Structure 1
Amino acid sequence: MNSGFTHQLKAEITNNNLPQTDVSSIFNSVFNVQLATSPETINEVFELRYQVYCIDRPFEDPNCFADKREHDDYDPRSTHALIRHKMTGDSVAAVRLVMAGENPEQADFPMEGPCFHRMDQAAQEALAEAPRQQIAEISRMAVSREFRRRLTEEKSVSGISAPAYYSDSENGKRAMPYISLGLFCAILQMSVKHGITHWMAVMEPAQLRLLKRFGVEFDHVGPVMEYHGSRRPAFTEAASLIEGMRSRRPDVWSLVTDGGRYLPAKPDTDYKLNARQVA
């Protein structure tokens, strides 16, 4: 990244009283979403994940990846995306969706065994009733530490799912999670492309609370547990999450759906919501 990166980004976001309708224009002026459909862009994803998961926050052993590309057995049945900074072309964040693959009844999801037995009965029933070929796990959300450092973000407990904090004109910090929302743009685009109707994820409690502020609320959220740090498992039907976002935060809905261009399909079966929402 060039040395003028932070100054340029601050110049792009200088008004402390931005209306909600500016969320899309700000994100789209600074970043873009790129689905990783070529070997070259998939390699970029793996390289960014190596930096985050093996170097910045070593959840994985770097000695296991001689090519400095972090990958695992779930990647062959996953789809991937990057968030790029427009001015420099740098990849600053990545996410994948793990799907059931060609044998959905025999395919597990990374968080399923460790986490879902800890969730309540309603969540377990919702997962069991959803068609597995239409379920995807939101996974490997990674944000470049170097990128976050340049934005003067405070240190996070992990390199996963961290929002970006932008310094305002008075050298304060305001939590405008453009990176997190951009990753949700990517998640939705990949889901529409692959016919995904249900999402599962395991996230830091603070990240779930932050997303709720921006209208992103999962239907079922489990208890805090130890899973690469303190995490909460979550499960939701994508269309209900997006529709709820539209009523709560139409500005964020416009960004994530690209003005209604990307909308998830309705599931093949009836979906029962849990009245409990994100804390």
Structure 2
Amino acid sequence: MFTKSSLSSVGNTFAAPLSNTGAAISKPLSLYQKFHDNFSIILADTPELRKDAMRIRYLAYCVENPFENPEDNLEGLEQDVYDEKAHMALVRHNKSGINIGTTRLIVKDEKHALPIEGVVHDEVVKSVKHMSYNVGEISRFCIAQTRKKKIDDDSAILNLGFLGIVAGSFMLCRTHNITHWVGAMEPFLFKKLEMIGLKMDYVGETFLYHGERRPFFSDISNILEKMSYTHNDVWHLMAR
């Protein structure tokens, strides 16, 4: 499941100062350059990196927001039965070396249900396991505000971390040849994603699970194609 994360105005490129001296004016720094100058997206492919992803989740879901019971998540690690076969990514602030965000991908497996299948009864979601598409569920998509506040950097830069967990989700899907996303998130986050040109396709009705959630099922290539027209600067970050 997705939960609320901070997001500043990120849809525009960042302009360099104009020169009045007659010297050549440098090109505006692209959003892609701005992000990668300040953040890295890392595949959590070692035990320690995976543990750090779970620590971020613990802060986001057990401390900062009371979504999960801390007593059910020992040693400051938020984890569940799906983590064993899940793929994870981290967003790292380059200057400080602090990981501030994470996202998780669970790949469809005919032998095991995806997490969303246990809470959503829409026909599209129920039929996911039988589809010929390579389907993955994105979940545990969060920024740890506690870690973010420890970093001494401009707030506009730090808010780019949200783009990092979105880009990390796309990276996981490319790495594991996923063509379609399924999941559920709160209406607030749908709106935030639409601000950066990422529009999910709704399926089913809103339901209650740690607050309001709405399920979605989306073709990733269609999302990126639309984004390339409406938010080209964001597309360059997400599609690479």
Specify the TM-score bucket, using the shorter chain as the normaliser. 0.7 to 0.9
Shift of residue 211, structure 1, vs aligned partner: 1.1
Q: Which runs of 5+ in 1 are unaligned?
A: 1-12, 152-164, 169-175, 259-279
On the 8 A contact 1:49/1:69 being kept in 2, the answer is yes
TM-score, normalized by length of structure 1?
Answer: 0.69
Tell me the percent identity.
29
- The number of equivalent residue pairs is 216
Establish whether residue 115 from structure 1 lines up as the match of residue 120 from structure 2: yes
The structure-2 alpha-carbon separation of the partners of 1:248 and 1:149, relative to structure 1 and needing over 3 Å to count, comes to same
- Answer yes or no: is the 8 Å Cα contact 2:59–2:146 preserved in 1: no
Deviation at 1:58, TM superposition (A): 2.5
Taking the TM superposition and a 5 Å limit, the aligned residue runs for 1:111-190 are 111-117=116-122, 123=124, 127=128, 130-131=131-132, 134-149=134-149, 166=155, 178-190=160-172
Match of 1:63 among 64, 71, 92: 71
In structure 2, which of residues 181, 192, 197 is the aligned counterpart of residue 215 of structure 1? 197
* Residue 48 of structure 2: aligned partner: 40
Contact 1:36 1:81 in 2 (8 A): yes
Amino acid at match of 2:59: Q
CA distance in 2, matches of 1:240, 1:58: 35
The amino acid that maps onto 1:242 is L
1:130/1:198 contact within 8 Å kept: no
2:14 paired residue among 12, 18, 21: 18
Residue identity matched to 2:222: S
Letter of the structure 1 residue corresponding to residue 138 of structure 2: I
Within-5 A mapping of 1:94-105: 94-100=102-108, 104-105=109-110
Query: What is the TM-score normalised by the length of structure 2?
Result: 0.79
CA contact (8 A) 2:167 2:238 kept: yes
Aligned counterpart, 2:111: 106
In 2: Cα distance, 1:18 partner to 1:126 partner: 44
Task: Give the drift of 1:216.
Answer: 0.7
How far did residue 253 of structure 1 move? 0.8
Structure 2 counterpart of 1:198, from 180, 200, 206: 180
Give the structure, 1 or 2, with the largest relative contact order (CA under 8 Å, sep 6 or more): 2
C-alpha RMSD over aligned residues: 2.9
Cα displacement (A) at 1:91:
0.7
Residue 54 (structure 1) aligned with residue 62 (structure 2)? yes
Change (3 A) 1:179 1:130: farther
